[in-house]
Structure 1
Amino acid sequence: MLEARLDFEGIAVLDLFAGSGALGLEALSRGAQHVTFVESNAAASRVISANIATVGLPGAVLRQCPVSTFLSMSPDRAYDLVLADPPYSVSAEEVSALLSRLTDHWVTDEALVVLERDASGPEAVWPDGWELISRKYGGTRLELGSL
Structure 2
Amino acid sequence: MQKKKPAAKVPVHGPQHAKQVRIIGGSWKRTPLPVLEALGLRPTPDRVRETVFNWLNHLRGDWGNLRVLDLFAGSGALGFEAASRGAQQVTMVDANASVVRQLQTIQEKLKATNIVVQRADALALAQSLAQRGQRFDLIFLDPPYQQDFLSRSLPLCDKLLADGGLVYAESGLALSADGDAPEWMAPWEVVREDKAGMVHFHLLRRRED
Band of TM-score, shorter chain: 0.7 to 0.9
Alignment of 1:51-62 (within 5 A): 51-62=106-117
From 38, 50, 53, give the equivalent of 2:105.
50
- Once the two structures are superposed, residues 84-130 of structure 1 have per-residue CA deviations (whole angstroms, 9 ceiling, x without a partner) of 11012222xx42221111112x11011110011124898653252x2
In structure 2, the partner of 1:19 is: 74
Higher relative contact order (CA 8 A, sep 6+): 1
SS in 2 for 1:72: helix
Identity across aligned pairs (percent)?
Answer: 31
In structure 2, the partner of 1:110 is: 164
The count of residues paired between Structure 1 and Structure 2 equals 143
Q: Structure 1 length as normaliser, TM-score?
A: 0.87
Instruction: Give how far 1:10 is off.
Output: 2.0
Q: Quick check: which has more Rg, 1 or 2?
A: 2
Cα RMSD for the two superposed structures: 2.0
Letter in 2 for 1:89: Q
Q: Structure 2 length as normaliser, TM-score?
A: 0.62
In structure 1, the partner of 2:200 is: 141
In structure 1, the partner of 2:57 is: 3
Letter in 2 for 1:61: V
Show structure 1 runs of 5+ residues with no match: none
2:142 matched to 1:69?
no
SS in 1 for 2:75: coil
Show structure 2 runs of 5+ residues with no match: 1-54
- Once the two structures are superposed, residues 1-54 of structure 1 have per-residue CA deviations (whole angstroms, 9 ceiling, x without a partner) of 332222222210000110121211111111101010010011110111011111
CA distance in 2, matches of 1:17, 1:123: 23
Letter in 2 for 1:142: F
Letter in 1 for 2:201: L
